Amino acid sequence: MAEREKNFKFAGIQMLVGENKEENVRNALKFIDEAAKNGANLVSLPECFNCPYATKVFEQYSETESGETVKQLSDAAKKNNIWLIGGSIPEKDPIDGKIYNTCFIFNDKGELIKKHRKVHLFDIDVPNKIKFKESETLTPGNDFTVIDIGYCKVGVGICYDIRFAELSMLYTRMGAKMLVFPGSFNLVTGPAHWELLQRGRAVDNQSYVAAVSPARNPDSAYQSWGHSTVVDPWGRILSKTDEHQSIIYADIDLNELNEVRSSIPITVQRRNDLYKLEQLK
Ligand SMILES: NC(=O)CC(=O)C(=O)O
């Protein structure tokens, strides 16, 4: 009989983000402490948790990897003995001077083990509804991000990255059993696609999927959809909230995932003689 896997608890922090960076970081730290007290082993913050989601302010709010926000997150992970997916912040690269939408990831000792720079920039124009062009001020990253948290491997993408099925498939191919997307959909794309994409990625990959949004801030120019969610490998919603500030929790049951993967064995039924997903780097 296969050995039973150890399960763990995930927490997604749907926090309010305003214009004051220090206040945003303080708010994040308070919620991280609360999630850890409630038994979370893996905690994720939302996309752009320390600054408004607006291309024209990214440079002004940006920090390097040795900045104060990264330091505070590292201390919080260490103090609370948790793995921390640090949502995202505008990161300035001290060498090329460019700004990236970056998620810093820490282990339970507070060590920065990886950073994910958003690979697919959110450049869209839905006529008369919403226009957004991250590439006005941001540069895309070029790396895949799969980390091993001890319980299982976790793939990390940022928001728009969830729309590209190939990325999640590659992460699954790299061994991920959970996909985490700090994200900030809006009032146009949120109701239409937020949940659908998460359930789609979960069923495609027979994987847990979590998407963690900022809470909706009525004073903000960009209105976040909120509705942070965790979906299981069968496509069921395990946890979901509304647009307000809160923490969502989910027990990640890897034995259940293994059962889904062995009962509908799509992984070994692929027709690689007819089509192939190719990793180019
Ligand atoms: N904000 C994003 O990156 C993506 C988004 O809002 C969408 O895909 O819709």
- Residue 102, SS3? strand
Query: Rounded to whole angstroms, what are the CA distances from 198 to 55, 65, 73, 172, 210?
Result: 25, 29, 26, 14, 7
Mean pLDDT over the full length of the chain? 97
**pLDDT in the model for residue 259:** 97
- Tell me the per-residue pLDDT of 76-109, one tens digit each, with 9 for 90 and over: 999 999 999 999 999 999 999 999 999 999 999 9
Give mean pLDDT, residues 176-187: 98
Nearest ligand 1 atom to the CA of 197 is 8
| pLDDT recorded at residue 147 | 98
Whether the per-residue pLDDT at 8 is higher than 70: the answer is yes
The pLDDT score that the predictor gives to residue 123 is: 98
Confidence of residue 23 (pLDDT cuts 50, 70, 90): very high
Burial 35-62 (b: 16+ CB within 10 A, else e): bbeeebbbbbbbbbbbbbbbbebbeebb
Q: Is 243 left (phi over 0), alpha (psi -120 to 50) or beta?
A: alpha
CA of 55 to the centre of ligand 1 (A): 13
Active site (annotated) includes residue 21: no
Rounded mean pLDDT, 100-125: 98
pLDDT at residue 1 greater than cutoff 70: no
Q: How confident is the model at residue 210 (pLDDT cuts 50, 70, 90)?
A: very high
Give yes or no: 159 in active site.
Answer: yes
Per-residue pLDDT averaged across 168-189, rounded?
A: 98
What pLDDT does residue 187 have? 98
Look at residue 61 and tell me whether its pLDDT is greater than 90.
yes
Domains of the chain: 8-263 (3.60.110.10)
259 given a catalytic annotation: no
Q: Which residues contact 276 (CB under 8 A, 6 or more apart)?
A: none
User: Does pLDDT of 2 surpass 80?
Assistant: no
Find the mean pLDDT for residues 135-146.
98
Percentage of the chain modeled with pLDDT above 90: 97
Model confidence at 281, in pLDDT bands (50, 70, 90)? confident
Ligand 1 mutation target, pool 101, 103, 185, most atoms within 8 A of CB: 185
Helix 165-173 vs helix 195-205: angle between axes, to the nearest 10 degrees?
Answer: 30
Q: DSSP state, 135?
A: G
DSSP string, 202-230: HHHHT-EEEEE-PPP-TT-SS-B----EE
Residue 97, beta-bridge partner list: none
What number is the average pLDDT over the span 144-166?
98
State if residue 224 touches ligand 1 by the CB under 6 angstroms criterion.
Answer: no
- How many angstroms does the Cα of residue 272 sit away from the middle of ligand 1? 31
- Structure tokens, 176: 């991920």
> What sign has the CA pseudo-torsion 101, 105, 111, 114?
negative
Average pLDDT over residues 212-223: 98
Handedness of CA 30, 80, 230, 21 (dihedral sign): positive
Does residue 179 register a pLDDT over 80? yes
Which of 170, 172, 230, 226 has its CA nearest to residue 42?
230
